[in-house]
Amino acid sequence: MKHLLLTLLGTALAGIVCAQEPTEKAPIVLKTYAEYGYNNTWEHFGHIAVGGYFPINTYFDLQAGIDLCTANSYAIDGRATVRFPLRVGQLALENRLLYRAIVCSRTHEACAALSLGYRMDYFAISIGAFSRFYSVMPTEHHIQTADYIVEPFNLLWNIEGHVRRESDFWNLGLRISNFDDFQIERFNEPIFTLIGRYNPTDKIRLFAEVYCKPSGMLHGAANFYNAGARIGLNYIFKTRKP
């Protein structure tokens, strides 16, 4: 029920915003990257991810992506975002749905999240809530199962800083958050990400990220749980003003 309420709320707000007359349409963006990672469970593994950013008008956009992992794990992410431009920066209300199938351990999860964020050239922050449902995958001999866990409420948060403006041809930044493109962690399990970006042309943006998720409650354990690096590009399809 909580998943449904979050989705309906985000959809209703998007419908109200879409009724406004757009002034300028943002470009469509195709995103793809390759990732290498290591943790104590899967050891060495890799990811290939592809996604897209699709503006509907000035105030509303959709995002979707898929992630394939060599550790036999797969994820699908979808987002609907309502944007409120301000004199300095902008507010964004985001409704997110995430599904992950961890086939190697025969489990899967579904998350629904709603968050409110503020973004400007050098700084971004957001806070919200999410619900999650874990379950064991049905098998040929175990079609119906009661093996599931529900997390009805958890905190979603993100803090991000950059050394240059978003419009500059290169930038560096640091993000501390409990979510990423294809994962959402509990509020006390932050992901530290170092971000770099370079724009060789007005249509291509290259980026690289290095991340680490320390293990243990409040980083009480010495061994890291997960670390990795990704490199990829955003291809921008320029659109005309309506």
SS3 state of residue 25: coil
Mean of the per-residue pLDDT values of the chain: 85
Position 82 in a domain: yes
Average pLDDT in the 157-179 region? 95
Position 242 in a domain: no
Average pLDDT in the 147-175 region? 93
**Total-model pTM:** 0.83
Position 47 in a domain: yes
First to last CA, the chain: 39
Between 210 and 139, the more confident residue is: 210
CATH number of 29's domain: 2.40.160.40
Residue-wise pLDDT for 85-105, tens only, equals 999 999 999 999 999 999 988
Confidence of residue 222 (pLDDT cuts 50, 70, 90): low
Average pLDDT in the 114-138 region? 93
Position 43 in a domain: yes
Query: What is the pLDDT at residue 49?
Result: 98
Hey, what are 215's tokens?
């293990």
Position 168 in a domain: yes
Position 44 in a domain: yes
Residues 6 or more apart from 58 whose CB is under 8 A from it?
20, 22, 23, 24, 25, 26, 83, 85
Is the confidence at residue 187, as pLDDT, over 80? yes
Tell the residue number behind the tokens 């190697």, with chain if given.
104
Domain count, the chain: 1
Residue-wise pLDDT for 206-220, tens only, equals 999 999 987 655 545
pLDDT above 90 coverage of the chain, percent: 64
Query: Could you tell me the CA-to-CA distances from 86 to 14, 15, 27 in Å, in that order?
Result: 18, 20, 20
Give the domain extent around 136. Answer: 2-237
Query: What is the pLDDT at residue 210?
Result: 97
